[in-house]
Structures are given as structure tokens and as C-alpha cells.
Amino acid sequence: MADPTTPRRRFVDTRYGQLHVAEQGDGDPVILLHQTPRSWDEYRDVLPLLASAGYRGIAVDTPGFGDSARPDAPWTIELFADGVLAVADVLDLGGFDLVGHHTGGVIAVEVAASAPDRVARLVLSGTPYVDADRRHRVRSRPPVDHVVPAADGSHLLALWRNRTPFYPDDRPDLLSRLVRDALGVLDRVEDGHAAVNAYRMEDRIGLVTARTLVLCGELDEFSLPDLPRLVAAIPGAQSAVLPGTGVPAVDHRPAEFAARVIAFLDECG
């Protein structure tokens, strides 16, 4: 029986190389997918809450991020989603619930569309609706995290400043965790965003059959406007807004985030 008080971190061998996961708890498996350029650490404070509620949280470093191996192929949402399914196969998970935040939410849509018989319950957090209109709008948008490495280390400050507007002033620790993850993929730090912006969600979301909760922070100006479209695209989907938080909803408000997810999972159980 897994220890419910601490996460177990390990690598699993997949067709994409060794992918890293952090697990905590027992019960129904819930796979957790992070935003770009984060890692499993985004769910560090959510895992024990899921475990306490009787779930087995499995936070995955998607291929190329965190401690997971880097695929040689171009990074796409389809590749990331197949990597998630590869992890599920190695862990011998027939069916599972799925939670994705920002990029992780887009990946979660593709996983649920690719394997509708395996995903029973789905939580899309801060997830954009990626269609032709959005692809056109973001084509000229400046990169979020791109910086040019400098000999004096000034690129570290540039990376910090790029993300400062999205993080609360009184929580520099959260921004430190993001910068740490970003440094691990600095040469490809925008590839996750590029994969999102190339994805044809309008062709895939209609294949999602899972019971779905669409969740977003009330200050998340990137994704909150798309919440009604996601709800409309998935029959029976529910929605909820987390007050007082934005893009970093998962680690900024872990208790509130976990409570919403757990209530939804319990309700649909």
C-alpha cells in the first residue's frame, strides 16, 4: 500500500524514454498534468489533499519537461498526450480520471478524445479553447517565457520579470518554483506554448465523453473568456471559478483547487 503522507517519485520506461511521475495515496487514480514550463511540482501541495480524500494522485512530467526524457520528434499536443497514455499503460491503469492545467488542460482534451473509454472524469483548469480564431490571434503574440541566455545571468531576471504580472506579489516562492522548472527547458521553453497554439481542438473536443468540470481562476485573463465555449463543447460539462487567483491557481490556491476537484470527483463517483 502506498504511503498516503508523502509522494513517491519514480521513473517509468515508455516508448518516449524514461518519464517521471510523483504519486501519492491509494484509490481511484487521478492523473495530473502541468502547464508550460512547469513540472509535477505544480501539484506538490495538491497531491496530499487528493490522497487524504481517498484518491491516488499521479502527477506526470510530460515528455520534455521536469525530469522526463526529451523526445526527438517535434513537440505536439498529440505527442504529449500519447506520452501520458504510455505512462498509464506502464502503470497498468485501465481507466483513470484526468486533471490538466493550462497546457496540461489542452493535453487532457487530447487524451480524453483519443481514449474516451479510459477517461471517466475530466477537469480542465485554465484551459484555452484552441480553434482557428485563437490560432490566428496568437500568431503575432510575443512569447511568454523566451529569454536569451547572457554571460552575466541577466536572463534569469528577464525570465522572472516575464512572469511577475501573473503571480501574487506576496508569493515569490511560487515564481521561484516556476523559474526553476523553466531553467530546465530554457532552450525549448516556448515549445509547449507553440504546441498549444498549433492544436486543432475544434476537431477533437467533440470526441470527449468524460464527465467534465471546467475550472478557472477569476483573474486568469488568458483562459477565463474561453470557459463558456469549453462548457458548450462538452455535453453536460460543469463550470466553476476560483476567486482571488489567476494563472497559478493550482499552486496559489491548492486547498481551494483540490476541494473543487475532489467535490466533482466524489459527485460523479
pLDDT higher than threshold 90 for residue 30: yes
Q: Is 119 helix (H, G, I), strand (E, B) or coil?
A: strand
Helical spans, DSSP H, in 115-226 = 132-138, 154-163, 172-183, 191-198
CA–CA gap between residue 74 and residue 182 (Å, rounded): 19
Q: Where are the beta strands (DSSP E) in 25-140?
A: 28-33, 55-60, 96-101, 119-125
What is the per-residue pLDDT for 1?
A: 46
Q: Is 119 exposed, middle or buried (0-12, 13-18, 19+ CB in 10 A)?
A: buried
- CA 187 to each of CA 23, 45, 64, 70, 108: distance values in angstroms, whole numbers, following the listed order: 28, 28, 11, 12, 25
What is the per-residue pLDDT for 4?
A: 53
Q: Is 35 helix (H, G, I), strand (E, B) or coil?
A: coil
Choose among 62, 179, 195, 101: nearest CA to 71. 62
Q: Please, what's the b/e burial string for 44-54 (b: 16 or more CB within 10 A of its CB; e: otherwise)?
A: bbbbbbbbebe
Tens-place pLDDT, residues 2-12? 455 789 999 99
Let me know: does 21 contact 12? Beta carbons within 8 Å: yes
Q: Is 249 helix (H, G, I), strand (E, B) or coil?
A: helix
Cβ neighbours, 10 Å, residue 139: 8
CA–CA gap between residue 202 and residue 15 (Å, rounded): 28
Global model pTM greater than 0.85: yes
DSSP state of 142: P
What is the per-residue pLDDT for 2?
A: 47
- CA 45 to each of CA 23, 51, 143, 180: distance values in angstroms, whole numbers, following the listed order: 12, 11, 28, 17
Q: Is 256 helix (H, G, I), strand (E, B) or coil?
A: helix
Tens-place pLDDT, residues 153-200? 999 999 999 999 999 999 999 999 999 999 999 999 999 999 999 999
Choose among 106, 136, 99: nearest CA to 223. 106
Tens-place pLDDT, residues 99-124? 999 999 999 999 999 999 999 999 99
